[in-house]
Chains A and B, each alone.
Chain A
Amino acid sequence: MNSLPNSFRSGPDERGHFGMFGGRFVAETLMPLVLDLEKAYADARVDPAFQRDMARYRKDYIGRPSPLYFAERLTEHLRAIAAASGRAGGAKIYLKREELNHTGSHKVNNVLGQILVARRMGKKRIIAETGAGQHGVATATLCARFGLDCVVYMGAVDVARQEPNVIRMEMLGAKVVPVQSGTRTLKDALNEALRDWVTNVHDTFYCIGTVAGPHPYPMMVRDFQAIIGDETRQQMQEAEGRLPDSLIACIGGGSNAMGLFHPFLDESSVEIFGVEAAGHGLDKLHAASLTGGRPGVLHGNRTYLLMDDDGQIQDAHSISAGLDYPGIGPEHSWLHETGRVTYLSATDEEALAAFQLLTRLEGIIPALESAHAIARVIELAPERPKDHLMVVNLSGRGDKDVPQVGDILKGRKT
């Protein structure tokens, strides 16, 4: 067993490693671009003008800070469940309302940062991959705002199941390219975006949507998302006068989770839970890379992946397009191995149930992705005492999922 680090917040090292995870596993053609980006981001990070721009657009364009909302009826509902089974508990549940951001999810926090970096680098053409379409919509939105060309790669399966977002991206002026290769989901969209980048090296900026890819992406995306945790800390201080006791977030690549978790990693009193997609179940098709995978190398970094004994990447499955990815950001792999964060999973069915519960109890329709986190809250909250403060990252709103969930529920009635 490795000895535990002094801080969980000091990574990555200068080569982009979080323990054994991370790195820069890209083709030579891309390596100079990755190094340029590393330098441009390092410069931006310490430039007060960049920080000022970030602060201004966060406030006036995204609408930050997002509220930290006490979910009173969900709390009472779960306390009643606890009481019915003879337990006295039921944590006090707060929702971090990332779904209220402009474009409807946390994805825009990262895109704003990357687009401002792209502008500093003089790049005129932006490419992105997307699963649920939320990252694609956020990218298309900021490209419209700054007058940049935008091409979004999206698996053909996801184009079909997240149609509202495809329409939005096209209205915003982006070109959406349905990807027909491989499993036609998020992993293949990422492959296709990398193929575009390797071809259009001179004018193109690759805006990755999660804490994955070669260094510096996992670090940079985490930094841009850490506003979620920073605000939560301050808002909880104002609301309750102390730190939260637990944090919980869903995990596709892991950006909304990392954004919430990172500012709290060194607070040993705070329990932290990530929720992967268990799809049809962990013994069937799923997307739980940490629970069901092992370390390998894909998309520029070493991390936990779903694969077979020959190192071939396996198909992932989740009802939610944004979690349907056979990998996970490298920092999560490291937090898993060090034991700092506990990784759980939720099935398609559990997420669907949680989706409906939150909608009915709080009048908030969550994204199917976020519903995976709610699904585990339903179990964890009744086991915690009433003075336990639990924060759930409500990473996105469910408008994009309404047609898909509507069809599923209608199919069950008939």
Chain B
Amino acid sequence: MTTRIDTRFAELRKQERSAFVTFLMAGDPDPVTSLAIIKALPKAGADIIEIGMPFTDPMADGPVIQAAGRRALNAGMTLTKTLRMIRDFRKDDDSTPIVLMGYYNPIYIYGVETFLDDAKAAGIDGLIVVDLPPEEDSELCIPAMKAGLNFIRLATPTTDDKRLPAVLANTSGFVYYVSITGITGSAAANSAAVGEAVGRIKRHTSLPVCVGFGIRTPDAARGIAERSDGAVVGSALVDVLSGSLDADGKATAETVNMVADLAASLAEGVRSAKGGVKTSG
């Protein structure tokens, strides 16, 4: 089964460049602004869009993404509304891959089967669920694969060569390498170490390897893009979004543009990278 993610990486391979992947929280700072931002991202140069599903207890996130989730929940965001937002996005964009990222409990409570049906119908292409390691694959990973959704696994510096095959076994779409041990918004890893880790993962898989955590500037994005198949930026975009809000935490006339402008300059960084998608497949 070919997904929008597979198609997108095939295109990038032809263009000989790496992917620019953005992360923002669904419903941050409110559902209307959030949709407007997501609609602006492909034009700003985002190749793949990750959308956070807000959760009260984001154990792997730093203060910036925690605050984004809180703003979204305070604005009434729910998983149902997140799926509706993606449906709206899909009305004018049928090619940009959308990956939902978050924690398992809201999906478990929604009901795994119903969620997969609704996610597929909404035009979602992949899932990243932080608290579902391969040991819990029967929960969502296997059912998602059967439903035709990519289940994108996180590999980390603690995932050694012995464990990598298990982590990669049911992964599809791409592999997300978390470049540091830590929470989102932490300091970046140096790009040499990242290059080494990506090389190590690639010895085990032909899937594209994207790298995230700690990438904040166009330069850093270029450095990562030169050593991987894609650079993921989250906290830096959410930081700019948060800085654009008024004293009450509400969106201003600048919010959408400010996020889109940063995305455009980060995309520029990724596109200026020498190298590009090194995946053989």
Q: List the one stretch of A23-31, A76-84, A142-150, A384-392 in contact with chain B.
A: A23-31
Q: Nearest CB to that of B103 among chain A residues?
A: A297
Q: For window 16-57 of chain A, which residues contact chain B by CB distance below 8 Å?
A: 23-33
A405 lies within 8 A of chain B by Cβ: no
Q: Is the CB of A29 within 8 A of B59?
A: no
How close is A313's CB to chain B, nearest CB, in angstroms?
A: 5
Give bound CA distance, A257 to B34, whole Å: 46
Chain A 90-120 interface 0/1 with B at a Cβ cutoff of 8 Å (1 = within):
0000000000000000000000000000000
Q: Is the CB of A27 within 8 A of B160?
A: no
* Chain A neighbourhood of B89, CB < 8 A: none
Q: Please report the number of residue pairs spanning A and B whose Cβ atoms sit closer than 8 angstroms.
A: 114
* Chain B neighbourhood of A26, CB < 8 A: 131, 133
Give bound CA distance, A300 to B59, whole Å: 10
B155 lies within 8 A of chain A by Cβ: yes
Given A24-B135, A25-B136, A199-B186: A310 and B57 within 8 A (CB)?
A: no
Q: Is the CB of A310 within 8 A of B79?
A: yes
Give bound CA distance, A198 to B241, whole Å: 26
Q: For window 117-138 of chain B, which residues contact chain A by CB distance below 8 Å?
A: 130-136
A65 lies within 8 A of chain B by Cβ: no
Q: For window 220-271 of chain B, which residues contact chain A by CB distance below 8 Å?
A: none
A171 lies within 8 A of chain B by Cβ: no
In this complex, the member of A26, A32, A191, A195 whose beta carbon has the largest number of chain B beta carbons within 10 angstroms is: A195
A138 lies within 8 A of chain B by Cβ: no
Interface size on B, residues (CB 8 A): 43
B107 lies within 8 A of chain A by Cβ: yes
User: Chain B interface (Cβ within 8 Å of chain A)?
Assistant: 55-60, 62-63, 66, 73, 78-80, 103-110, 130-136, 153-160, 163, 167, 178, 181-183, 186
Query: 12 A-B residue contacts at CB 8 Å?
Result: A27-B130, A29-B158, A32-B160, A191-B58, A198-B59, A201-B181, A297-B105, A310-B78, A310-B106, A311-B110, A312-B106, A313-B56
A67 lies within 8 A of chain B by Cβ: no
Contact of B131 among A33, A297, A307, A312 (CB under 8 A): A297
How close is A341's CB to chain B, nearest CB, in angstroms?
A: 24
Contact of B178 among A15, A29, A33, A296 (CB under 8 A): A29
Q: Nearest CB to that of B182 among chain A residues?
A: A199
Contact of A28 among B58, B107, B178 (CB under 8 A): B178
* Chain B neighbourhood of A29, CB < 8 A: 60, 154, 156-158, 178, 181-182
Contact of A198 among B110, B135, B136, B181 (CB under 8 A): B181
* Chain A neighbourhood of B105, CB < 8 A: 296-298, 305, 307, 311, 313
Contact of A31 among B58, B66, B133, B186 (CB under 8 A): B133
Contact of B59 among A28, A194, A201 (CB under 8 A): A194
A309 lies within 8 A of chain B by Cβ: yes
- Listed from nearest, the 7 A-B pairs whose CB atoms lie closest are A311-B109, A311-B106, A199-B182, A29-B156, A310-B78, A31-B133, A311-B105
Give bound CA distance, A309 to B78, whole Å: 9
- Majority secondary structure, B binding face: loop
Give bound CA distance, A181 to B70, whole Å: 10
* Chain B neighbourhood of A194, CB < 8 A: 59-60
Q: Nearest CB to that of A295 among chain B residues?
A: B108
Give bound CA distance, A307 to B79, whole Å: 14
In this complex, the member of A30, A305, A311 whose beta carbon has the largest number of chain B beta carbons within 10 angstroms is: A311
Interface size on A, residues (CB 8 A): 36
Given A26-B131, A28-B133: A313 and B57 within 8 A (CB)?
A: yes
A299 lies within 8 A of chain B by Cβ: yes
Q: Is the CB of B133 within 8 A of A198?
A: no
Q: Nearest CB to that of A30 among chain B residues?
A: B158
Give bound CA distance, A200 to B135, whole Å: 22
Q: Is the CB of B57 within 8 A of A31?
A: no
A182 lies within 8 A of chain B by Cβ: yes
User: Chain A interface (Cβ within 8 Å of chain B)?
Assistant: 15, 23-33, 181-182, 187-188, 191, 194-195, 198-202, 296-300, 305, 307, 309-313
Q: Is the CB of B182 within 8 A of A25?
A: no
* Chain A neighbourhood of B55, CB < 8 A: 311-312
- Majority secondary structure, A binding face: mixed
Q: Is the CB of A311 within 8 A of B136?
A: no
How close is B78's CB to chain A, nearest CB, in angstroms?
A: 4
Give bound CA distance, A195 to B180, whole Å: 13
Give bound CA distance, A309 to B132, whole Å: 21
Q: Is the CB of B186 within 8 A of A28?
A: no
How close is B149's CB to chain A, nearest CB, in angstroms?
A: 19
Give bound CA distance, A254 to B243, whole Å: 43
- Extra contacts besides A29-B158, A199-B183 (18): CB < 8 Å: A25-B132, A27-B131, A28-B156, A28-B167, A30-B158, A181-B63, A191-B59, A195-B60, A199-B182, A200-B181, A296-B105, A296-B108, A297-B103, A298-B57, A299-B57, A299-B59, A311-B79, A311-B108
Q: Is the CB of B79 within 8 A of A199?
A: no
* Chain A neighbourhood of B157, CB < 8 A: 29, 201
* Chain A neighbourhood of B131, CB < 8 A: 25-27, 297, 300
In this complex, the member of B59, B79, B157, B159 whose beta carbon has the largest number of chain A beta carbons within 10 angstroms is: B59
How close is B100's CB to chain A, nearest CB, in angstroms?
A: 14
Q: Nearest CB to that of A300 among chain B residues?
A: B131
Q: Is the CB of A182 within 8 A of B56?
A: yes
* Chain B neighbourhood of A297, CB < 8 A: 103-105, 108, 131
Give bound CA distance, A187 to B105, whole Å: 15
* Chain A neighbourhood of B136, CB < 8 A: 23-25
Give bound CA distance, A23 to B73, whole Å: 27
Given A181-B66, A191-B59, A195-B60: A296 and B109 within 8 A (CB)?
A: yes
* Chain A neighbourhood of B155, CB < 8 A: 28
* Chain A neighbourhood of B160, CB < 8 A: 32
* Chain A neighbourhood of B183, CB < 8 A: 195, 198-199
Give bound CA distance, A307 to B156, whole Å: 30
* Chain A neighbourhood of B163, CB < 8 A: 31-32
Give bound CA distance, A200 to B183, whole Å: 11
How close is B232's CB to chain A, nearest CB, in angstroms?
A: 15
How close is B116's CB to chain A, nearest CB, in angstroms?
A: 16
* Chain B neighbourhood of A182, CB < 8 A: 56-57
Give bound CA distance, A33 to B134, whole Å: 14
How close is A208's CB to chain B, nearest CB, in angstroms?
A: 13
Give bound CA distance, A182 to B73, whole Å: 12
